[in-house]
Structures are given as structure tokens and as C-alpha cells.
């Protein structure tokens, strides 16, 4: 998959929603999807960052994106339903979602993690991807073929000390992927997978592994073959999978 070479029009005429689109892997994926023809719906808390990605896409000649400033940490069912309705109203369709937004505090023992921290970690990293996908499911079902990519984490896949609530939430995404894929069935127009980026030069990685020199790590752009493959129709048979970029 890392050697995958997508055709230039892989995502032509498609609408892809990317959460956490203002930075890191969400930003890189937004630019990659636009380069391959998609109209990207950019979602994030920081409007200035979204505007910067918006400008980058236009400067590169991609389809005009849409911006959705939105706080996943406080949204309720009504907010998610309104967001889904607004997106479809303005963009007319939805062909995929990349859940790249995340919340992380620090590496600490479970005995020092608070209930409030866990509630935030679960809400942003697990509950919001579920709730947003559920709200968008009617639009995704209406697409000829649609892909949902949840972003997992190495320490959610293989639990390790000090990762606490973040790892638990990310592990939950893997379970969510399996359950939802089984419920949808092989014939459904919507497929769901979890992608685990592994070690990559992002702000999160610099916080959790400060001793790793970023220039020695893969850059977000290096992982885009995985993101493009799972979003496009070349992966139609890939359903309910946990995909590790480092594998």
C-alpha cells in the first residue's frame, strides 16, 4: 500500500470531509485529496488554520473547498445533525470522511489522569467520530461508494503504560470499525476502516517522543498513499480492516 500510485483523477467529483484539517495528517490528507480531484470539506476548531489550508488548495489548482469551524469536544446530537445537513445542503453529496481530529494531554500514569481528562479524550477521540459518522450515514449511503477512515494509534492497537485514556479511546475506534462493518455488510456502499499512521513527524509525536528528531521520521506527505488508497475505489474490497502504515 505504501507504494500505491493513485491516478490523478482518483477522487474527481467527490466530496470528502476531513476533521482536524488544519494541521498535521489532516492537513496533508486534505491537500492530497484535493490534488486528486476531491472537493474537501475542512473541519477544525481553528478557523485561521482552516483558512490557510483553504488557500493552499486554491493555490495548487484544486477544487474550491468548504470550511466548517466546529468544536468536536462540545457538540451534541443536534449539532452533528445540523453539521451533516449543512454540508449536504451546500456541497450536495458526501463520499467520504477522514477522522483525523484528536485530543491528547500528556503521557502520565492512570493514577494521575482525571475524570475530566478522560471525558474529553473519549468525547473527541471516540464519541465524536461515531456521532459524526452516524449523522452523515444517510448521505454516505446515497453515494455510489463511500469510505470512512478512522485514525487509530499504535498504543491503542498495542496498549502500553502511560498512554491511558488516549489509548483506550483509540482502541475503541478499532472495535467500532469491526462492529459497524459487520452491521453494514459486504454489499453496503459504505466501507469503514481504521488507519494507524505510526511514527510520523507531527506535533503530537514531538510531544510524546521529544527525543526523536523529526527529520528522521516519515513526513505526513509520505503516508498519503495509504490515505488515498483507502479513500478511493481501488480499496472497495477493504472493509473492517485495521491498517498500519508501518506494517
Catalytically active residues, by annotation: 166
CA torsion sign, 226 to 232 to 235 to 238? positive
CA distance linking residue 66 with residue 144, whole number of Å: 22
Cα(26)–Cα(175) distance, integer angstroms: 22
Among residues 138, 147, 135, the alpha carbon closest in space to that of 233 is found at 147
d(Cα 164, Cα 162) in Å, to the nearest integer?
A: 5
Q: Which three cell numbers stand for residue 151?
A: 485514525
Which is nearest to 43 in space by CA: 65, 17, 62, 14?
17
C-beta separation of 146 from 230 below 8 A: no
Amino acid at each position: 500500500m505504501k507504494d500505491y500510485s493513485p491516478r490523478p483523477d482518483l477522487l474527481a467529483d467527490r466530496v470528502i470531509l476531513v476533521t482536524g484539517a488544519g494541521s498535521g495528517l489532516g492537513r496533508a490528507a486534505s491537500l492530497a485529496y484535493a490534488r486528486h480531484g476531491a472537493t474537501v470539506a475542512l473541519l477544525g476548531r481553528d478557523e485561521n488554520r482552516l483558512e490557510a489550508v483553504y488557500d493552499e488548495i486554491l493555490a495548487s489548482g484544486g477544487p474550491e473547498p468548504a470550511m466548517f469551524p466546529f468544536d468536536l469536544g462540545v457538540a451534541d446530537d443536534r449539532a452533528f445533525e445540523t453539521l451533516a445537513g449543512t454540508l449536504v445542503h451546500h456541497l450536495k453529496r458526501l463520499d467520504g470522511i477522514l477522522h483525523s481530529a484528536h485530543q491528547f494531554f500528556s503521557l502520565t500514569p492512570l493514577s494521575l489522569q482525571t475524570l475530566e481528562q478522560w471525558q474529553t479524550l473519549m468525547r473527541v477521540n471516540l464519541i465524536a467520530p461515531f456521532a459524526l459518522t452516524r449523522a452523515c450515514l444517510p448521505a454516505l449511503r446515497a453515494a455510489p461508494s463511500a469510505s470512512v477512515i478512522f485514525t487509530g494509534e499504535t498504543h491503542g492497537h498495542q496498549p502500553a503504560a502511560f498512554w491511558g485514556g488516549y489509548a483506550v479511546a483509540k482502541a475503541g475506534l478499532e472495535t467500532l470499525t469491526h462492529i459497524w462493518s459487520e452491521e453494514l455488510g459486504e454489499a453496503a456502499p459504505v466501507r469503514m476502516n481504521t488507519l494507524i499512521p505510526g511514527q510520523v513527524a507531527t506535533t503530537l509525536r514531538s510531544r510524546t517522543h521529544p527525543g526523536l528528531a523529526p527529520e528522521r521520521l516519515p513526513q505526513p506527505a509520505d503516508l498519503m498513499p495509504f490515505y488515498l488508497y483507502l479513500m478511493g475505489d481501488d480499496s472497495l474490497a477493504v472493509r473492517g480492516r485495521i491498517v498500519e502504515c508501518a506494517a
